C-alpha cells in the first residue's frame, strides 16, 4: 500500500489513494499507521477517492489517529489539493474543486504559494453543530463540567468546535479542558477544542485539542472556527483577514462580507513517500 506523508503547518497526514478500489482503512489499521513509534506517525489519515460530482476532481475522507471519521480538515484539504496537482489529476494552474465529507470545496492558489480553501459558511445554530441542552445560538455559552464552569463559543465548520478565549495560550490547560469538553453530553459528537489568544484585530494565537488525535501543531478548521467565533463577538475582523499563529506555523483566514463564506490559506508540504507492508 503506497502512501505519501504530508503536513500543513505541522498538522501531519498519511495520504492513501483509494480511487482504484482499495478498501478504506479499518480503525485498527489507522491506529497502526498513525502510531509515531511503531507506524508512520500522523494526526490523520486522508483517503483520496473518486469524485462524487462532476464539479470536483476527486473526493476525500478523513480518519483520525484512533480510526474515527471526521467531517472536515482544512490543512488536510490543502494537502489533498497539492497531492492531486502533483499527480496530474488537478490542473497545474487555475482553480478546481475537491469534496470532503462536509461538501464541495473550491480551491484557489495563494499569491505567496500554497492553496486557499473555501471552507463554507460557519454554522452557529446548536442543532447544526451539534450542541445539546444549551438553548438558542449565543456568542458565548457557560457549561459546568465536572464542577468546573467553562465559557466558550461553539460553531460548525463541517465539524464541531468549541472555542475558549484565553489570556495566554501557553498557560492554557489544553489537554485537561479539551478532554472535559470532548466528553461532555453538550457535544453529542464530541468536538475540537480551540484555545485562542487575541493579539490584535488581525492576529491571534491558537492551540487546538482535536477529537481523536489530541493536541496537534495546527488545525485548519480550528483556525476558521476561532476566527468565526471571535468575529461574532467583535474581537477580530475576518473581513479584513486574520493571521492565526499555531505551534506549527501560520494560517490566514478571511471571510466574504456578502456570503459569510470562510476562506483559509496556508502551506502544504510533502515529507516522504513510502509503502506500508
Catalytic sites, residue numbers: 73, 219
Treating both helix axes as pointing N-terminal to C-terminal, what angle do 74-87 and 220-232 enclose, rounded to 10 degrees?
140
CA–CA separation, 45 and 233 (whole Å) = 34
Three cell numbers written together for 235: 474581537
Contact in structure between 15 and 83 (CB atoms under 8 Å): yes
CA–CA separation, 118 and 263 (whole Å) = 5
Peptide bond connecting 144 to the previous residue in cis, omega within 30 degrees of 0: no
224-245 burial, b at 16+ Cβ within 10 Å, e below that, comes to bbbbbbbbbeebbbbeebbbbb
Kindly tell me the burial class for residue 14, based on how many C-beta atoms sit within 10 Å of its own C-beta (0-12, 13-18, 19 or more). Answer: buried
Q: Per residue, what are the HEC states of 148-168?
A: EEEEEEEEECCCEEEEEECCC
CA–CA separation, 16 and 27 (whole Å) = 15
Kindly tell me the burial class for residue 44, based on how many C-beta atoms sit within 10 Å of its own C-beta (0-12, 13-18, 19 or more). Answer: buried
185-212 burial, b at 16+ Cβ within 10 Å, e below that, comes to ebbeebbbbbbbbbeebeebbbbbbbbb
CA–CA separation, 14 and 33 (whole Å) = 8
Amino acid at each position: 500500500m503506497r502512501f505519501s506523508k504530508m503536513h500543513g503547518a505541522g498538522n501531519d497526514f498519511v495520504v492513501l489513494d483509494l480511487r482504484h478500489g482499495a478498501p478504506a482503512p479499518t480503525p485498527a489499521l489507522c491506529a497502526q499507521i498513525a502510531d509515531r513509534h511503531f507506524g508512520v506517525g500522523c494526526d490523520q489519515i486522508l483517503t483520496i477517492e473518486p469524485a462524487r460530482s462532476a464539479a470536483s476532481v476527486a473526493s476525500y475522507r478523513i480518519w483520525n489517529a484512533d480510526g474515527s471519521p471526521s467531517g472536515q480538515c482544512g490543512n488536510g484539504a490543502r494537502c489533498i489539493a497539492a497531492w492531486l496537482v502533483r499527480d496530474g489529476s488537478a490542473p497545474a494552474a487555475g482553480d478546481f474543486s475537491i469534496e470532503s465529507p462536509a461538501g464541495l470545496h473550491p480551491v484557489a492558489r495563494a499569491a505567496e504559494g500554497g492553496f486557499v480553501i473555501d471552507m463554507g459558511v460557519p454554522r452557529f445554530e446548536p442543532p447544526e453543530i451539534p450542541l445539546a441542552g444549551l438553548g438558542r445560538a449565543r456568542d458565548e455559552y457557560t457549561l459546568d463540567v465536572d464542577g468546573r464552569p467553562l465559557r466558550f463559543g461553539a460553531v460548525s465548520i463541517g465539524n464541531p468546535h468549541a472555542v475558549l478565549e484565553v489570556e495566554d495560550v501557553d498557560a492554557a490547560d489544553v489537554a485537561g479542558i479539551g478532554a472535559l469538553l470532548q466528553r461532555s453530553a453538550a457535544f453529542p459528537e464530541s468536538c475540537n477544542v480551540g484555545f485562542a489568544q487575541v493579539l490584535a484585530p488581525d492576529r491571534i494565537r491558537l492551540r487546538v485539542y482535536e477529537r481523536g488525535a489530541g493536541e496537534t501543531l495546527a488545525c485548519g478548521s480550528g483556525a476558521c472556527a476561532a476566527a468565526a467565533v471571535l468575529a461574532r463577538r467583535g474581537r477580530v475582523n475576518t473581513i479584513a483577514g486574520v493571521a492565526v499563529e499555531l505551534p506549527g506555523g501560520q494560517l490566514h483566514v478571511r471571510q466574504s462580507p456578502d456570503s459569510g463564506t470562510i476562506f483559509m490559506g496556508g502551506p502544504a508540504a510533502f515529507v516522504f513517500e513510502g509503502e506500508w507492508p
